[in-house]
Amino acid sequence: MIKHILVLGAGSAGLIAGISLKRKIPNITVHIVRSPEIGVIGVGEGTTPHFPAHLFDYLGISRRHFYTHAAPTWKLGVRFLWGPRGSFDFTFQPQLDSQWSDLPMANGFYCDGEFRDASLPSSLMHHGKAFARQPDGSPDLQPFHALHIENKSLVETLESVARDIGIEFTDGKVASAERGPGGIAAVVLEDRSRIEADFFIDASGFRSELLGKALEESFVSFDRSLFCDRAVVGGWERTVEPILPYTIAETMDSGWAWQIEHEHHINRGYVYASQSISDDQAADEFLRKNPKAPKSPRVVKFRSGCHRRHWVENVVAIGNAGGFVEPLEATALMVVCSHAKNFVEMLLQSSCSPTPTMRDLYNENTFAAWEDIRDFLALHYRLNTAKDTPFWRHCREDTDISSLAPLLKFYAENGPTGLCRYRLPKPTSAFTVEGFLVMLVGNRIPYDFKHSPTAAELKIWQAHRASLDATARNGIGVRETLAYIRHPAWQWHDERTMPVPRTR
Ligand SMILES: Cc1cc2nc3c(=O)[nH]c(=O)nc-3n(C[C@H](O)[C@H](O)[C@H](O)COP(=O)(O)OP(=O)(O)OC[C@H]3O[C@@H](n4cnc5c(N)ncnc54)[C@H](O)[C@@H]3O)c2cc1C
């Protein structure tokens, strides 16, 4: 029976895993060991809606506490500067896999020409607004958003929550791990102190100290589908720029660049393939586009892929220690939350004595989740025709999307119908069929079946778009929404139920 869990690492993965365990299973002890000398990765600032849902709805962290200390802004989706349209938006509420009751076809069939105003978030993004306005003028904070959060504030805020609920912290560098009959018996710190536990969460980032190094679990590379392996990162303090309610993903010569919007800071990063461009060339291209960025942007190296199994003996790896897929859809924190939740639920369902078949199921699910992200991102690369550089020609010709063949064949015959969901490589894809349709329609991939709307249909379609556009035009921007939620009279809807309980 698992009673004492040691979490190695206090980046966002270790902290989310630790909080999830302690919050849901208060009887176990959770002890986090981390090395201030190694520090945290310091990038990872865009999320998906799964992240606020995990923090607020699943873990019950107080929104007021989180918004006060982590100071996030709202992200309604990603604006892709991509493909033959030059630009299209991927929002977190269906645009294409959705149908008005007074129209005969799904929205996707009306978006060949214009790709906008098919959902409220799409219209809000167009107008640079975060939320619709309520009759009293305040923002209507619908859950169709994710967050932008600076990594440092996120980690600090999570640490304060972790300490509040009774998680113990030790600062020290783990030098080795002692093996025992059931896996790892203890970790040994550089000062030679030993810390024992029944179970270990490896959240040591790319170092993967326990799963990768001590247990030598094999790593599966995704380098046939995803060629990028580095990023130059650098942002600047905001002056006159408006706070956009979305991330931008912009096509670059040898990869793509993100723009993430914080209240006082704009964060930019260029993700590229080191086989196509040197670090210096990438920095030059990045600085030409972003003259306000620091002259020597930081280089971050990574590899896309994951360990074959995330749970081996008495170790589960969460976060970069288990796997990482490049940040085009900002999915890492989503994966951390989902893996932490799955593990917690398995402990709960087994009274903390998980069975080998549970462990096998966990391993199947975690591996499938990484493959899902790999497949979705690979499609982004394969379809993008925005630039005709050697890197992008290589992506269009060589990106391995073999797992998507049934979907692409079905789409080519039938177009953007929701029935495409039955041809997804993973029917439970985190991106749902909507994500794949956005990539296909957004990149104007041709299909045979054509719906020719009547004049009456088009009139109805345009009326729906105009209505959403009017709501969004009257919407409320990020800065004004921040002022609302910081006003002493603001009431979060969780306020009466949500204090994080102290267990000691
Ligand atoms: C270029 C880039 C952009 C990214 N963008 C996004 C994004 O937009 N959205 C998103 O969700 N994710 C993004 N990510 C991923 C994201 O940064 C991470 O997945 C997330 O922050 C979790 O990191 P982590 O906690 O696994 O690792 P880390 O932050 O690296 O933390 C590792 C922890 O382990 C400790 N540690 C390591 N070794 C030892 C040791 N021997 N002894 C003691 N302690 C040790 C460290 O001190 C630290 O506390 C991005 C990643 C990269 C590379």
CATH number of the structural domain spanning residue 18: 3.50.50.60
Residue located nearest, by CA, to atom 38 of ligand 1: 204
Together in a domain, 140 and 212: no
41 C-alpha to center of ligand 1: Å? 4
> pLDDT tens for residues 235-281?
999 999 999 999 999 999 999 999 999 999 999 999 999 999 999 99
15 neighbors 154 (Cβ within 8 angstroms): no
Given 372, 391, 418, the domain boundary residue is 372
Q: Is residue 179 part of a domain?
A: yes
Q: Find the mean pLDDT for residues 88-107.
A: 97
User: How does DSSP assign 203-270, residue by residue?
Assistant: --GGG-IIIIIIS---EEE-TTT----EEEEEEEE-SS----SSEEEEEETTEEEEEEE-SSEEEEEE
| pLDDT bucket at 496, cuts 50 / 70 / 90 | low
- Which residues line ligand 1 at a C-beta cut-off of 6 Å? 8-14, 33-35, 38-41, 43-47, 173-174, 203-205, 207, 209, 231, 269, 300, 302, 319-321, 327, 330, 332-333
Q: Which atom of ligand 1 has the smallest separation from the CA of 333?
A: 11
Together in a domain, 310 and 447: no
Q: Any idea how long the chain is? A: 504
Helix (H) or strand (E) holding 183: strand 183-189
Q: Is residue 247 part of a domain?
A: no
Lowest mean per-residue pLDDT among 281-290, 345-354, 410-419, 494-503: 494-503
15 neighbors 120 (Cβ within 8 angstroms): no
The Cα–Cα gap between 127 and 208 comes to 43
The number of CA neighbours under 13 Å toward the Cβ of 491 is 4
Q: Is residue 488 part of a domain?
A: no
303 C-alpha to center of ligand 1: Å? 13
Q: Which atom of ligand 1 has the smallest separation from the CA of 151?
A: 21
Together in a domain, 26 and 112: no
In this prediction, residue 44 carries a pLDDT of 78
**Assigned token pair, 468:** 């959403």
37 C-alpha to center of ligand 1: Å? 14
Together in a domain, 439 and 449: yes
17 C-alpha to center of ligand 1: Å? 13
320 C-alpha to center of ligand 1: Å? 6
Together in a domain, 156 and 199: yes
The Cα–Cα gap between 340 and 344 comes to 6
Q: Which atom of ligand 1 has the smallest separation from the CA of 189?
A: 42
Q: Find the mean pLDDT for residues 155-182.
A: 96
Does the pLDDT value for residue 485 go beyond 50? yes
Mean residue pLDDT of the chain comes to 96
Q: Which atom of ligand 1 has the smallest separation from the CA of 205?
A: 27
Together in a domain, 360 and 381: no
In 3D space, the residue among 377, 341, 100 whose CA is nearest the CA of residue 228 turns out to be 377
352 neighbors 28 (Cβ within 8 angstroms): yes
Residue 114: how many other CB atoms lie within 10 Å:
12
334 C-alpha to center of ligand 1: Å? 13
Together in a domain, 167 and 143: no
Together in a domain, 205 and 341: yes
The DSSP symbol for 128 reads: T
Given 324, 357, 372, the domain boundary residue is 372
32 C-alpha to center of ligand 1: Å? 15
Q: Is residue 267 part of a domain?
A: no
When divided into structural domains, the chain yields a total of: 2
Together in a domain, 111 and 194: no
Q: Is residue 294 part of a domain?
A: no
Q: Is residue 423 part of a domain?
A: yes
Hey, which of 7, 12, 318, 329 would you mutate to test ligand 1's pocket, going by the most ligand atoms within 8 Å of its Cβ?
12
In this prediction, residue 9 carries a pLDDT of 98
205 C-alpha to center of ligand 1: Å? 5
Q: Is residue 272 part of a domain?
A: no
Q: Which atom of ligand 1 has the smallest separation from the CA of 319?
A: 26
Residue located nearest, by CA, to atom 41 of ligand 1: 174
The DSSP symbol for 292 reads: T
Hey, which of 34, 75, 300 would you mutate to test ligand 1's pocket, going by the most ligand atoms within 8 Å of its Cβ?
34
Q: For residues 59-96, b (16+ Cβ closer than 10 Å) or e, as one string?
A: bebbbbbbbeebbbbbbbbbbbbbbebeebbbbbbbbb
The DSSP symbol for 131 reads: B
The Cα–Cα gap between 166 and 184 comes to 24
In this prediction, residue 494 carries a pLDDT of 78
In 3D space, the residue among 376, 391, 184 whose CA is nearest the CA of residue 281 turns out to be 391
> pLDDT tens for residues 44-83?
799 999 999 999 999 999 999 999 999 999 999 999 999 9
348 C-alpha to center of ligand 1: Å? 27
Residue 176: how many other CB atoms lie within 10 Å:
14
> pLDDT tens for residues 346-385?
999 999 999 999 999 999 999 999 999 999 999 999 999 9
451 neighbors 109 (Cβ within 8 angstroms): yes
In this prediction, residue 281 carries a pLDDT of 97
28 neighbors 22 (Cβ within 8 angstroms): yes
Is beta strand 298-301 parallel, antiparallel or unpaired with respect to 230-237?
antiparallel
490 neighbors 484 (Cβ within 8 angstroms): yes
184 C-alpha to center of ligand 1: Å? 22
Given 317, 350, 372, the domain boundary residue is 372
Together in a domain, 66 and 170: yes
- DSSP 3-state of 372: helix
Together in a domain, 462 and 315: no
The Cα–Cα gap between 164 and 374 comes to 37
> pLDDT tens for residues 413-465?
999 999 999 999 999 999 999 999 999 999 999 999 989 999 999 999 999 99
In this prediction, residue 504 carries a pLDDT of 38
Together in a domain, 218 and 332: yes
Domain with 195, as residue range(s), is 4-44+62-73+149-222+305-372
Enter the pTM of the model. Answer: 0.95
In this prediction, residue 497 carries a pLDDT of 52
Q: Is residue 248 part of a domain?
A: no
